[in-house]
Structure 1
Amino acid sequence: MAELPPDPARLRAILAFLEERVAENETVGIYLRLQRDAVREALARAEGLEPTGPRARRGRSTLPAPASSGRTTGAPGFTVERRKRAMGPEPARIHTDDCTTGGTQHPVGAEEACAALVDPMVEACPFCRPDAALGMDLD
């Protein structure tokens, strides 16, 4: 690393910039791990094997059904939306699976949605309120 400036103002600016990059990368990491686990489970099902991912270890061996599947269980599913902007990603947004706001969304389970909503770089959709559907009080 290059030599750091001696004054506190520039050091604080550098620290703030680095902390932003770390937070953005953690959000991307959460999203990528969720996608990786879903692909591993789908591959195991396609090969006729028992899924061995984190969901399977918790006793859950199937992915949540997509929003268009016409669920009959009554339990809401959830989706994650990765939003982009010119100066790096904005926080990811969690929706219920029947929410029509936002862009491209990827299905996640209730446990993943709960875990993501406590991350400061992930927010709940203000329209469909997945935090309320999960029984979480984020206010």
Structure 2
Amino acid sequence: MSELPSDPPRLRMILDFLDERVARNQTIGVYLSMQQKAVRHALSVAEGQAEAARQQPRLHGRGALSSSAAGPAPSRRERGSAGFMIERRRTPRGPEEAAVHQDDCTMTSDHIHRVTAHDARLALTDAQLEACPFCRPDTELGIFD
């Protein structure tokens, strides 16, 4: 860096400018992370729809769908999604498990670990973790209050 001025007012002005730039770049980083998460979700939905479209003619051929004109919406298994996640929250004592989500939920933080349906069911019943109110893993697992 070039030579800095020696007077405090100009040094403070430079420092304020640099602080503003750092904050702006952090904001941009958060925004880009949110966009990245949205694109990943859209990709998983699109891939799930493509998988369902490939399986649909086969399901019609076996007569597995109901007789309604549109048929039922594809299940998560038919869309290729059958897993669950447990979200962890940071605390002063370290990460703690906080909520259970379906694996295609976009309302999670970056601190998650994937679990089986059995482990998700145990977490919701034994550890009394909250179920995500958006993706409703408790309903998917057949756990009703």
TM-score by length of 1: 0.42
Compare CA radii of gyration and give the structure with the larger one: 2
Point out the structure with the larger helix share.
2
Greater relative contact order (CA < 8 Å, ≥ 6 in sequence): 1
